[in-house]
Structure 1
C-alpha cells in the first residue's frame, strides 16, 4: 500500500521502520538481507533474462547542464570571492542591498573615470588626501581560514601610498594588509593573504593616502587552493560524476557573444545578460569551461547562439576550439594559452528555439533555414563534429503551450484547435525538423522537466493533483514524460527511416523533477533515469538541470546533496547493458488521457509498485538490479534468472533518508545516505526496503 495518509501519526510509522532499518545497517557488510524475514510467496514475481540485451547505456546519459543564471556558475564552481570585480556598477553609497564596492572616506572623492577606463565603460578614480584614508571597499565576503591569492590592476600619480587589506573580523589581528605598488600606467600587482578564521562577513579594502589620485581597473581574490580558477571543493566532488557538461545555456546562450569571454579575464568587459537582466562578468568563458571539463574528466558539450547570434560567429567558435594553430582562430586560442586544439565532438546548435521566450525566436519554417546555415558553416570548419539540433517532440510542444505563429509558406495563422499537438501537424516541431533539416544533425535535443503536477489537456495548463494520489503515481509523472517521448519517437519511425536505422539519436539535455523535494524528488529522479535507460536504443545523452544541484554549497564549503548521492550511486554501481525484465505486476492503466507528458501506457517495470531495472557490466560478469520503492512497506519480489549463475555472496547498496523530507545540507550531518550490505544470492526473494532506492550486485560464478 502506498499512501502517506495511511500512516498513523504522520511520520511516526515511517520513523520506526527507518530506525529498525538503521539498526540492521550498522554492522555494514556483515549484515545479511533477503532470507528468512520475507514472505514465502511474494505477490510479485519477476524474471531477468541476461541473454536478451538492449543497447548499452552510454556514460553521456549521466551528463550535466549548467548555464549563467545570474551568479550561479560563480557561486558554485568558480572560486572568485569578489562581486563586480571589473566595476560594471558605480562605486557609490546607493543601492544599500546590492553587493558592490563602496567608497572609503568621503563618497565624493570616488568618481567613475569614463575617459580612460581599464576595461568596460568605467573605472573608479580615488582622489587622495595626506591626512585621510580614501579608497574602495567590498564587504560580505565568505572566507575560510586559509591562504588567498589575488591581484589588483592599478594606476596612479607619484606620491600615492596604497594598501590592500583583507579582514575577517573587527578585532586586533583579524586583518592583513599588503602594500600595493602604484605606477603611472596600468600595472597588475599580485596579492597574498592568510585568513585567520572563517567568516561570512569579510571585507577587502583598497585604500591609500598621499597626493593626486589612483585608479583601479580590476580586482580578484580567490582561495589559494583554487584549481585553474575553480573551487577545489566542488571540483573534487563533481569529478567523474557527470558524463558530459552542457554550457553556457540554456536561455542565456541566445544573448551571449562567446568572443566577449575569451582572452585576459581582466580585460573582458562585463556585459548585460538580456535574458536574466543581470550583469555577466564573462570570467568563465569558453577556455575556462573546457578547462573545467578537463578537471572533471568529462566531455564538453558547448552550445552555440542561434538566437541573436550568427552562423559566422558559431563557425568562428568551432575554429577557435578545434582549429589548428595555423588557422586564424586557432592562432588566437594558442595566444590565449592553449596551443593544442581541444577536439570537441558534440555541439548543441541553439537552445529551445521553438519557444517564444527565447531571444531571437522566429517561426519554425524560418528557424529550420537558420539551423541549416549554422550546420553548414560549422561543418565547413570541422566536418567531424556531431551536431545536436533543437528538438521538440509533440509531448513537449503540448506542455509548453506555445501561442500561434504565422507560417511564412501559407501566410496563415497557425494555432492548434486543440491543446494537444498531434503528430505531423504544423505545430509538430520535430516533424518539420526531420523534413527540412535532414542530414544537418546527428542528434535531436529534448527537454523534459517532470513535475508532481499534471498537464490537463482540457485546461491547457499544469494543475495540482489530489493529495490522495499515491506517492508512486506522483513520482512516476516525470518518468511518464520520458515514456511519452518514447511513444512519440515510435510514431516518427515509419516516415523517417533514418531513425529506424539508428542514424539519429536523442539527447535529453535538460531534465529534472520539479515541485518535489526530499525523498520524493529522489524517487522521481530515479524513475526518470530508469525510463531513459529503457530507451537506451535512442536516448544516448542526457543533462541533469542543474549539474551543481548535485551539491549543497555555501561560499566556502560543499557536500553532496540528496540528488548527488543518488547520481553517484547509479554512476558508481549500476551496470551498462540493460537486460530483459518481465514481471507479474504491470503498471496500472493511466488515470488520464494520453497527450503531453501522459503516455498511453504508464512508465515503469512490470513489478508494480516497485520500479525495477536490470543491467550487466561491460564485461558481462556482474549483474545489477536497481529498485525504486516509493512505498511505506517492504515490497517482496520473487526473482528468477536466465543466462546468469551468481556466486552466493552479493552486495547491496541502499539509499534511504532519515525522513521523507530528508535533504543533505552543507555543514550538517547528512540525512540522505547509502549503506552497503551483503546478501545471499541463493534466496530468490528480493525485498525492497520501504522508501528506498537500492542496487544489488550479483557476480557471475
Structure 2
C-alpha cells in the first residue's frame, strides 16, 4: 500500500543523514526508506511517499540518524495515499453507505472542556491538550473546518454544540460567527484566512451537553443554568436569527425546569439515554424501544401541563446500548445481533412517535460505542450499524398506524416518498421463524415485492473488522400471495407496491 507523509525537522548538520522507514519485518528487505541528506537550524518540511511491500498489523515507522549530532522533530504525518482530506477511505465509504442526514459535533462530554479555537489554523501548529473528558491527548487535528469538510464529503448536515460548561458566551458567539459570518466579519475573516471564504451556514446549534450531570465540566444547579442557557441563546439568535437551538434536557425535574424557564429560548429539547444488558433476549431487545416510548410520553405530558399545548420537539441526540468489555480501546463496546435488534425495534418506536421526535442521533458513529468499528487496517459495520443502513435505505417516510396480532414480533409500516409502495418493518427477537399476512385499509398490495433483512444464527453473533462478516444485509424477492416469513433473530423490511383505493 502506498503512503504519503511529511516531517518537520531541524538539527545540527552533523546529525544528517536522517532516515524515515516503514518496517514490516526483520530482514533488510522488509523496509522502505526516505532519506534526508542535510539539516538546517530552522524547521523545514519534507514531504515523501513510501510504498509498503507487504500487509502487516505490526508495521512501524522509524526515524533514525546515521550522524552524530542533535536533531528535533516538530511533527510527522503518515497516511494511506488514498486518504480523503486526512480521513480513511474505507471508513468514509461505510459512512456514505450509512448516509446519516445529520452529525453532531464535537460532543458529548468532550465539548464542556473544549475550546474550538484550538482546532483551527495550521494543523501542525495547533496546541495538543489533555482530553478534557476521557483518556489521552487531544491533538486538535480535527476541528470545525475539518468537521465541515467531513459533512460535505458524506453529504450530511452539521449540528455544532457550543461549550456551556467551562466555556463562556464570547467563545460561543465567536464560534457562531466563524461558522456563519460573512467574510468581512471579524471571525469570518479568520475563517477565510484559514482557506474557507464562504460561510458554512450551520443551522442547528446545541447549547451545551448534559449540564444536569455532576460528571460534566462546569456543571451547575438548574436555577443557575437556565440563566446561562437563555443568555447564550438570546445573543446567538441576535447574531444569526436563522439558527435552530437544541437545549439540554433530561426527563424529570431538569427538563421540566428548562421548559418552565427557557421555553422561549428552545427550538428542540435534547434527551439522552443508554441501556445495558439483559440475559433474556426479548427483554434485552425491548429496552431501547421502551425508553423511546417513555420519553415521548413524558414530553406529551410536559406539553399539556407546562407548555400549555405548545409543541417543542425532541432531539434524542444520544441513544444506544452501552455495556460489556472494552474490546475496541477506551469504552469500545462490541455489539451483537441482539443489540442490532434492539436498535431496529427502537427505530420502529421512533416511527410511532413522530409527533414528539424531530431528530434522533445514534451515538456514536465510528469506534467507542459506534456503528462502525475499525482496526489499523480494516473497517466494518457493527450489527447496530447494519440496522441503521437497513432502515435508512429501505424504510418509508410517512408512518402509518400498524397493529399486529402476533405479540412476539414488532411491526411498523410507513409509506415511501413517492406513495407508490409500503415498507413494513418486522423485528423478530426469537430463535424461531415467524410468518404473517398483510391486511391493508385504503390501498391494495401488489403481487410482488422486495425484502431486506439483517439476521444472525445466534443472538450473540457479531462482526469483526478484517475478518469474514458473520452478519450482513441480505435481499430477496417476495410474493404477496403467500405468508411472509422472517428469519430467527432478524429485522426485515418488506417493500410492497401499492394501488390506492378511491374513498
Q: TM-score range by the shorter chain?
A: over 0.9
8 Å CA contact 1:245, 1:543 repeated in 2: yes
Q: Which residue does 1:88 correspond to in 2?
A: none
Name the SS of the counterpart of 1:309 in structure 2.
coil
> Match of 2:153, SS?
helix
After TM superposition, the structure 1 = structure 2 runs for residues 354-503 of structure 1, keeping only pairs within 5 Å, are 354-394=212-252, 428-453=253-278, 469=280, 471-497=281-307, 500-502=309-311
Distance 1:432 1:550 in 2: 33
**Length, aligned pairs only:** 483
C-alpha separation between the residues in 1 aligned to 2:150 and 2:282? 38
Is residue 545 of structure 1 aligned with residue 363 of structure 2? yes
Partner of 1:514: 322
SS at match of 2:432: coil
**Alignment correspondent of 1:634:** 433
Q: Kindly tell me: are residues 518 and 209 of structure 1, through their superposed partners in 2, closer, same or farther at Cα, counting changes over 3 Å?
A: closer
Deviation at 1:688, TM superposition (A): 3.1
Structure 1 residue corresponding to 2:397, chosen from 553, 573, 576: 576
Alignment partner, residue 127 of structure 1: none
Q: Contact 1:240/1:296 (CA < 8 Å) preserved in 2? A: no
- Inter-partner Cα distance in structure 1 for 2:457 and 2:432: 15
Choose the corresponding residue for 1:302, options 157, 160, 182. 160
1:501 positional shift = 4.4
Cα distance change, pair 632–277 in 1 and its aligned pair in 2 (3 A): closer
How much does 1:495 deviate? 3.1
Counterpart in the other structure of 1:221: 78
| Matched residue, 2:12 | 157
**Which of 226, 230, 244 is the aligned partner of 2:87?**
230
How far the C-alpha of 1:159 sits from its partner, in A, is 4.3
8 Å contact kept, 2:340–2:385? no
Shift of 1:666: 1.6
Q: 1:649 aligns with which of 448, 451, 463?
A: 448
Counterpart check, 1:608 vs 2:410:
no
Higher relative contact order by CA 8 Å / sep ≥ 6: 1 or 2? 1
Are residues 1:200 and 2:57 paired? yes
- Decide whether the 8 Å contact of 2:116 with 2:144 is kept in 1: yes
Q: Cα deviation per residue 1:135-171 (whole Å; 9 max; x = unaligned)? A: xxxxxxxxxxx11111111122334412222222221
Find the aligned partners of 1:258 and 1:568 in 2 and give their Cα distance: 31
* Aligned counterpart for 1:688 among listed residues 456, 465, 486: 486
CA distance in 1, matches of 2:236, 2:74: 36
Deviates further, 567-576 or 202-211: 202-211
1:620 is matched with 419
Superposition CA RMSD, Å: 1.7
Q: What corresponds to 1:69 in structure 2?
A: none
Q: CA deviation at 1:235?
A: 0.4
Per the TM alignment, residue 675 of structure 1 is displaced from its structure 2 partner at its CA by 2.5
Report deviation, 1:622.
1.0
Indicate the residue corresponding to 1:148 in structure 2: 3
Instruction: Structure 2 unaligned segments of length 5 or more: list them.
Output: 325-334
Pairing 1:292–2:150 present: yes
Cα deviation code 1:167-216 (max 9, x no counterpart): 22221222122222522212211121111111222222222244643221
Structure 1 match to 2:383: 562
The SS at the match of 2:209 is: coil
Quick check: 1:518–1:663 contact (8 Å CA) kept in 2?
Answer: yes
Render the CA deviation track for 1:473-530: whole Å, top value 9, x for unaligned: 33212211111111111211223447x444x211111001234742211111111111
Partner Cα separation in structure 2 for residue 687 and residue 156 of structure 1:
70
Distance in structure 2 (CA, Å) of the matches to 1:638 and 1:156: 76
CA positional deviation for 1:556:
1.6
Q: Contact 2:457–2:489 (CA<8 Å) still a contact in 1?
A: no
Equivalent runs, 1:29-44 vs 2, <5 Å = none
CA contact (8 A) 1:312 1:377 kept: no
Among 175, 190, 213, the residue aligned to 2:31: 175
In 2, distance between residues paired with 1:486 and 1:567?
Answer: 21
Q: CA deviation at 1:346?
A: 0.6
Aligned counterparts of 1:253 and 1:321: Cα–Cα separation in 2: 17
Q: CA deviation at 1:240?
A: 4.8
Larger Rg over CA atoms: 1
The superposition leaves residues 530-564 of structure 1 with CA deviations (integer Å, 9 ceiling, x where unpaired) of: 11121112211111121112223210211222122
Distance 2:155 2:40 in 1: 42
1:351-401 CA distances to partner (integer Å, 9 max, x unpaired)? 10000110101000100111111112222221111100000112xxxxxxx
**8 Å contact kept, 2:456–2:488:** no
Conserved in 2, the CA contact under 8 Å of 1:240 and 1:297?
Answer: no
TM-score of the two chains, using structure 2 as the length reference: 0.92
2:345 is matched with which residue? 527
- Equivalent residue of 1:582, what SS? coil
Q: Does residue 58 of structure 2 align to residue 260 of structure 1?
A: no
Q: Is the 8 A contact 2:19 2:65 kept in 1?
A: yes
Change (3 A) 1:649 1:263: same
Structure 1 residue 505 corresponds to structure 2 residue 313: yes
C-alpha distance in 1 between matches for 2:462 and 2:29: 38
Q: Is the 8 Å Cα contact of residues 373 and 381 (structure 2) preserved in structure 1? A: yes
Q: Distance in 1 between matches of 2:65 and 2:433?
A: 69
